[in-house]
Chain A
Amino acid sequence: MTYITIEGLHKKFGTSTVLHEIDMQINKGEFITLLGPSGCGKSTILRIVAGLTDASSGKIHIDGQDMTGIQPKERQVGMVFQSYALFPNMTVKENVAFGLRMQKMNPTEIEKRVEEMLAIVHLTEKADAYPKELSGGQQQRVALARALIVRPKVLLLDEPLSALDAQIRKKLQADLRMIQQQLDMTMILVTHDQEEAMAISDRIFVMHNGRIAQSGTPTAIYTKPKSEFVAQFIGHYNVFTRPTLEKMMGTRLPGEATKFAIRPEAIHLEQRAGDVPLQGTAKQSLMSGNVIRTTFEGTSTFLMEQLHQGEQAIRIGQSYTCYVAQEDVIALS
């Protein structure tokens, strides 16, 4: 049973169309990621779901209820903003309590719920601090606690981690996922970081120029990109046109597709059964973590990724025959 339905959503700002025909169906308790480059309309979708921006056309249902004309405060939708939007004049505790105070809950109950929530986000000691006295990661957790405490039907997160450094970010991604599962909360996260999307989502919607380019589980999207955009955005795929690739491989490729994608790590140097060859001259080799990325130049340039574990060293300037399994050559539409 779908919990949130977005149907035929359109948005124009003046004369420019920012969202075209967006359709999404989200189940209860799912962790959804909207992934796409800057300016593709991710925040606009969240703001329309929250009721902060009106759609030009299209419908949104949450838990069976049509959201048309419903005020933000009536929607039971929570949101965490990229810049946190903590209330500067209130302490951590007061920030977190704000939503419950608006519901006129009795003060002892509020006190109790705030304490619980601060424990969940590990901020009990900071209860009386003001936002400006907190680190970025701590502010982010206050924003999360403030949004979660009113138990919204869905929590929208607009690049909540993008201002944080890599280490804290990894930690908070894990925390976020854990809290989401603990509370069985439906969440929609916006990000332009494909690794983040891969790491924490149940399903990803990849967006491009105001449209949904592809949706599916992280594995499905990673292993079966449908278009050149998704292939390049999500996995740094090598993308070739049909004539180029046929020339490099020296064979005819089956099907109608005009473009093909090959994951860099599917390319290797030793030949296995059923492999097809790829010719190229090594141009550059870079280490990143335990991965070596080598750029080859043949009829077209391509990238190979190997794990760095006693692999034979690649000599720059030398010609190689690389190999790729037939099924790793993905036809794009």
Chain B
Amino acid sequence: MKKRSFADLFFLLFVVYIVLPVVATMLYAFAGKWNKTILPEGWTLKWLATLFQDTAFIQAFGRSVLLSGGAVIIALLAIVPAIFVIVLYFPKYEKWIQAAVVMVYSFPGVILAVGLIRVYSQFGVPMIVVVLGAYVIGILPYIYQGTRNSLRNVDARQLLDAAQLLGASKMQAFRKVLLPTVYPGLFAGALLSFSVLFGEFVLINLVVGSRFETVQIYLMKKLSTSGHIASAVVFIYIVLMGILTFIIAKLTKQAKGATNV
């Protein structure tokens, strides 16, 4: 009994610690006057409206989508076929992918940034391309996990064999049988990658900075000028992430359902 109530209390504290700042930020995004009261004295959409009229924000948002989306698409086109080929035909090399995944996880962004600046600034490669490249590699773990998990529940080799014996070419077998089977897991991995990159700040700020202003950098700037606007940015960000999370959760469930035999 005692133990139970202690756990409850702990949980409550945890929720307050995590949720309160978020709620407060969200409220702040819609707050009119808010000085001496617990809750704001009035509500307004002014901050959101200002934000959407600010071309700098729209452009920053566009840049973020472009950069994250571009990295995800490149990763899908380049990494996914490689993962398929290795898992299906050269399973003994899979441990190298796994090693790469661990390395990606264990490199802190700051160290990576210093390294990238040092190496690439001498060659005249545009820094934004360097960041893009780092992003593509940075999401390897998510893309790998997404693909691998959906391949795990099916005997992919055998599905390809079966399709080929029924008259499909290797390409057709891949497109009509394997891809639809792994699609939900793959798509979930892609969305997850996108949301991680969308929130990335360290690398882009250190390597490129305000020369390529993303939502995160825009947010950083606004923090020092207008708390309300900054809160509105956070609000939009949270809504966007909420939607993505919802879709990912749905897809993950679907991916599990599709292959449970």
Interface residues of A (CB under 8 A from B): 50, 52, 71-73, 75, 77-79, 81, 83, 85, 87-89, 98-99, 102-103, 131-132, 139, 146-147, 150
Contacts and interface: CB of A to CB of B under 8 A. Distances in A.
Interface residues of B, number: 23
B161 interface: yes
A149 to B, nearest CB: 9
A72 B164 contact: yes
27 contacts: A50-B161, A52-B165, A72-B165, A73-B167, A73-B169, A75-B165, A78-B166, A79-B161, A79-B165, A81-B158, A85-B161, A87-B159, A87-B181, A88-B154, A88-B181, A88-B259, A88-B261, A89-B181, A98-B163, A98-B168, A102-B166, A132-B257, A132-B260, A132-B261, A147-B165, A147-B166, A150-B167
Contacts of A98: 163, 166, 168, 176
Contacts of B260: 132
A102 B161 contact: no
A139 B162 CA distance: 14
B172 interface: yes
Given A52-B161, A85-B158, A85-B159, A146 B166 contact: yes
A4 B67 CA distance: 59
B180 interface: yes
A73 B158 contact: no
Interface string B227-261: 00000000000000000000000000000011111
Interface string B170-192: 00100011001100000000000
A214 B172 CA distance: 41
Contact of A88 (B161, B164, B169, B258): B258
Chain B interface mostly: helix
A87 B158 contact: no
A72 B161 CA distance: 8
Contact of A83 (B158, B164, B172, B258): B158
Given A52-B161, A85-B162, A89-B177, A99 B167 contact: yes
A102 B258 contact: no
Interface string B132-172: 00000000000000000000001100110111111111001
Those 9 A-B pairs whose CB atoms lie nearest each other, nearest first? A102-B167, A99-B166, A89-B180, A85-B162, A85-B158, A72-B164, A73-B167, A79-B165, A87-B177
B214 to A, nearest CB: 37
Interface centre among B158, B172, B260 (most CB of A within 10 A): B158
Nearest to B161: A52
Nearest to B164: A72
Contact of A89 (B161, B164, B172, B258): B258
Contacts of A146: 166
Contacts of B259: 88, 132
